[in-house]
Amino acid sequence: MNSGVSVENIRRNGALYVAESRIRQMSKWKGIITLVAVGNPLFYLVAIGIGIGILVTENSGTSGTGGVEYIVFIAPALLANTALLGAMDETVFPVMEGFKWRKMFYAINSTPITGPQIALGVFIAALVRVAFSVFLYWIFLVAFGVLSFQDSWMAMVVAMYGGAAFGALMMGVVAGVKKDDYFLTVLGRLVITPLFLFSGTFFPLTNMPIYLQPIGWISPLWHTTELGRYFGYGQEISGSMLSIHFLFLTAMLVAGIKIANIRFTNRLLK
Amino acid sequence: MPESLISARGLTKKFGDFTAVDGIDFDVAKGESFGLLGPNGAGKSTTMRIIAATSRRTSGTISILGRDPEEHGPQVRAHLGVVPQQDNLDTELTVTENLYIYGRYFGLSKKFVNKKVEELLAFAQLEEKKDVKVEALSGGMKRRLTIARALVSEPDILMLDEPTTGLDPQARHILWDRLFRLKEDGVTLIITTHFMDEAEQLCDRLVVMDKGKIMAEGSPAELIKEYSTREVLEVRFGSDRNKEVAPILREMCDRIEELPDRILLYVEDGELLLEAIAAKKLHPNTSLVRRSSLEDVFLRLTGRSLIE
């Protein structure tokens, strides 16, 4: 063994080595990642923010959106959505690839790196992508005059936090997927799309009939969006609801990482 | 007695009711090239995974460099270079990047890894492909890269699971040459294979495994000496006549194996036996005298062929 191999060093920094290689892999897709990060917000801002915004404002002014323009109302939701989708991309696909498609996690695990370190490394790299995408989006929102530069930066931070929570959960879930035949289709069409539509993204969740509101209550997108609206433009939210939003996302983050740790360990150690 | 790097006693691994490894004992000495020979499903890869600290044993003991791999997985794996049965390279990264990131997983400095990568590219004869994405490499090149990758940390033990399966003869010989160099450099090799020629080429000592058990142990020459004769005469009389002449031939040699297409006759002098057969006016359609191989040892021990 080379004298430079230090198990103690790997124990401390193993997750960072995994993150380093994940970022290297991601950099192969930097053009696409940047295009998605820039293009996606642009499309939504123009089509929904401006197009539908005019319709909403002409019909009901700002009474249905808590006293702010429609584009301002949806901006934190789109920011949160960018964070969650970025986190999903960088957890679902790497984990499927690592365990199933290209089995690279088994290669990493034949070094001193452990399953939980691989999970954490993938997670850290996902956060880098989330931070990059959310930051770009926020710059856009500020540049378009939708959010204020000084007063809304915390909306960017909570979006990243929501992305982290959702990414952790996705990592825990996907680590248990052995057959991917329908998983990605079901995830995309029956989980992500309803969450996007029923999480108070385009209208307040309370507009929905009460029996549909629970979809929002369990949605990390709704909790992240509500926090974003509070920090982004000062939407009124009670202290207890603020705590609930934070606690929900924190519970998701912790549970996701715990599940991922257990599943990564068991799946790699046959 | 040379220093023992690996020592297993009563090693057992069960998957539900199925026993993949059934109470095996073995030792591997420093600098030795040790082989696990057996057909698919014999328990070779499972044994390798237990050594590599990526599989929990059901019972028995195993020590690698004095450590239990189950309790000290990262410490044990720090000393190993693992070449799995199927290449699990990152096909989207280049040859150089694959070596680099793997070196980093061992916590090696960027400076060291960059230098080591150049050395390994030369070893694997992949210098011209250094900036090529792995997906564009041939099967033999990918295999050499996987072996080079396993060497990035300068491991004490290199574990190769079916290193040449799926490769064409030329690629196999290039790979054997590389492995032989490692052996000459004193690297301890553990190789699983179901190719007898590979085991004979590369292994100082091997165990023959079947159905999770060790059937025999020794150097290729010792095993052949103990379980077979010096030479083998292979005769073909045509599938109908094979059965007819077999009882006559049985009287003329030490041992006989009737395979679907040919009869194997185990003797010290094959040419002499062939002459005796001709003298009895039994004229085979084809005949071949060859020296005994590990395939014959396996046939003797299990009654079955290695590649079925």
Binning pLDDT at 50, 70 and 90, where does residue B305 land?
A: low
| Nearby residues of B14 by Cβ (< 8 Å), 6 or more positions away | B20, B58
- Output helix, strand, coil percentages for chain A, rounded to the nearest 5: 80, 0, 20
Task: Tokens for A14, please give them.
Answer: 């193993």
Encode pLDDT of B247-290 as tens digits: 889 888 888 988 888 999 999 999 999 999 999 888 889 999 99
| Nearby residues of B46 by Cβ (< 8 Å), 6 or more positions away | B13, B20, B21, B55
The answer to whether position A1 is within a domain reads: no
Of A20, A21, A110, the CB nearest to B52: A110
Best interface-test mutation with A: which of B64, B101, B151, B152 has the largest number of A CBs within 10 A?
B101
Order of all β-strands in the sheet with B4-15: B18-29, B4-15, B59-64
- Return residues 105-134 of A near B (CB < 8 Å): 106-114
| Residue range B80-96: mean pLDDT, rounded | 93
Domain residue ranges of chain B, discontinuous segments joined by +:
4-219, 229-291
Please report the pLDDT score of residue A40 as a whole number: 79
> Are B4-219 and B229-291 in the same CATH fold?
no
CB contact under 8 A, A24 and B154: no
Domain of residue A196 covers 7-268
Instruction: Give the H or E element holding residue B8.
Output: strand B4-15
Question: Which residue in this structure is represented by tokens 């293009």?
Answer: A39
The answer to whether position A2 is within a domain reads: no
8-state DSSP, A235: -
Encode pLDDT of B49-67 as tens digits: 999 999 999 999 999 999 9
Of A2, A13, A107, the CB nearest to B154: A2
| Residue range A123-130: mean pLDDT, rounded | 96
pLDDT at B175 over 90: no
What Å distances lie between residue B173 and B78, B170, B186, B201, CA to CA? 29, 5, 20, 10
CA dihedral of B94, B97, B103, B109, whole degrees rounded to 10: 160
pTM attached to this predicted model? 0.89
- Cα angle, residue B4 at apex, residues B3 and B7 outer, rounded to 5°: 165
The answer to whether position A118 is within a domain reads: yes
For chain A, how many structural domains are there in total? 1
Residue B156: φ, ψ to 5°: -75, -30
Encode pLDDT of B19-48 as tens digits: 999 999 999 999 999 999 988 889 999 999
Nearest chain A residue to B46, by CA:
A270
Query: How far, in Å, CA of A207 to CA of A238, rounded?
Result: 19
| Residue A48 C-beta-side C-alpha neighbours within 13 Å | 17
> Which residues of B make CB contacts under 8 Å with A?
49, 52, 54-56, 73-75, 77-80, 82, 84, 86, 88-93, 97, 101-102, 104-109, 112, 149, 153-156
| Residue range B103-123: mean pLDDT, rounded | 93
- B4-219 is classed CATH 3.40.50.300: yes
**How is domain B229-291 classified at the architecture level of CATH?**
2-Layer Sandwich (3.30)
Question: Which residue in this structure is represented by tokens 């715990």?
Answer: A258
Please report the pLDDT score of residue B306 as a whole number: 58
The answer to whether position A198 is within a domain reads: yes
Encode pLDDT of A20-44 as tens digits: 999 999 998 888 888 888 787 788 8
- Cα angle, residue B92 at apex, residues B164 and A260 outer, rounded to 5°: 95
